[in-house]
Chain A
Amino acid sequence: AQSVTQPDIHITVSEGASLELRCNYSYGATPYLFWYVQSPGQGLQLLLKYFSGDTLVQGIKGFEAEFKRSQSSFNLRKPSVHWSDAAEYFCAVGALTGNMLTFGGGTRLMVKP
């Protein structure tokens, strides 16, 4: 069975600083990997996804993530954080077949002015 770990429950960064949110997955085959963002009082929105090919994927809102098979990681990055990026971020993994995503516990990002 697949699983996802997001080691950081809370992260605080200053506006304009760079950001990296960690995600580690466990899955026996090549995973399908996703990052979602949840703003307060709202549902989740897809930021980016990795299926195959280039291990560095670009997403919306200036986010990118890098798939590292050797480390079983799919960390999310942004070079310069904006105050509007404050939200909760979820990493998710999907099996080769089916439609069932397994989500990590989430990382809450706070942005200092």
Chain B
Amino acid sequence: DAGVIQSPRHEVTEMGQEVTLRCKPISGHDYLFWYRQTMMRGLELLIYFNNNVPIDDSGMPEDRFSAKMPNASFSTLKIQPSEPRDSAVYFCASSLRAGYNSPLHFGNGTRLTVT
């Protein structure tokens, strides 16, 4: 079990550029979550998917943010255009099934810096 894999680990980009973050969940996990971590706001849930379908995107901050899950083994979080305030660590997590008996497995995150 390779765990949740995120890429890239670090991303530095200029304001206005498009940024795409990638996530490969653990095989067989039905749920995928995107979180953002900042010093000011802590860990925030942005969106989560069940069987590749977005269930709740109420945490997505603006229309500049979009997330897709084209298949069970891949998800992207895209920011277009990026802004300096988007600088944060973005985590992807997956879980086997619904409910809290199935713990979240986190990736190591992508540290995004927008200059």
Q: Interface on A for B, CB 8 Å cutoff?
A: 32, 34, 41-46, 49, 51, 90, 94, 99-101, 103-106
Minimum C-beta distance from A34 to chain B (A): 8
CB atoms of B104 and A44 under 8 A apart: yes
Contacts A100-B48, A104-B42 given; does A43 touch B98 at CB 8 Å: no
Residues of B within 8 A of A90 (CB): 43
Residues of B within 8 A of A43 (CB): 4, 91, 93, 105-109
Q: How large is the interface on B (under 10, 10 to 19, 20 to 34, 35 or more residues)?
A: 20 to 34
Q: Give per-residue flags for B76-108: 1 if the beta carbon is below 8 A from chain A beta carbons, else 0.
A: 000000000000000101010011110111111
CB atoms of A99 and B48 under 8 A apart: yes
- CA distance in complex: A42, B106 (Å): 8
- CA distance in complex: A61, B31 (Å): 27
Minimum C-beta distance from B113 to chain A (A): 15
- CA distance in complex: A104, B43 (Å): 8
Q: Is B53 an interface residue (CB 8 A)?
A: no
Contacts A32-B100, A44-B91, A46-B103 given; does A101 touch B45 at CB 8 Å: yes
Of the candidates A46, A94, A100, A105, the one whose C-beta lies within 8 Å of that of B42 is: A105
CB < 8 Å A-B pair total? 49
CB atoms of B42 and A49 under 8 A apart: no
Which B-chain residue is minimally distant from A44 (CB atoms)? B106
Question: Which chain B residues (15-42) contact chain A, with CB distance < 8 Å?
Answer: 31, 33, 42
Q: Interface on B for A, CB 8 Å cutoff?
A: 4, 31, 33, 42-43, 45, 48, 50, 55-56, 91, 93, 95, 98-101, 103-109
Which A-chain residue is minimally distant from B101 (CB atoms)? A51
Residues of B within 8 A of A32 (CB): 100
- CA distance in complex: A103, B104 (Å): 13
Q: Give 5 pairs: A residue, B residue, CB < 8 Å, sorted on A.
A: A43-B109, A44-B104, A100-B45, A100-B56, A101-B104
Residues of A within 8 A of B99 (CB): 99
CB atoms of B42 and A103 under 8 A apart: yes
- CA distance in complex: A34, B101 (Å): 11
- CA distance in complex: A103, B33 (Å): 14
CB atoms of B104 and A94 under 8 A apart: no
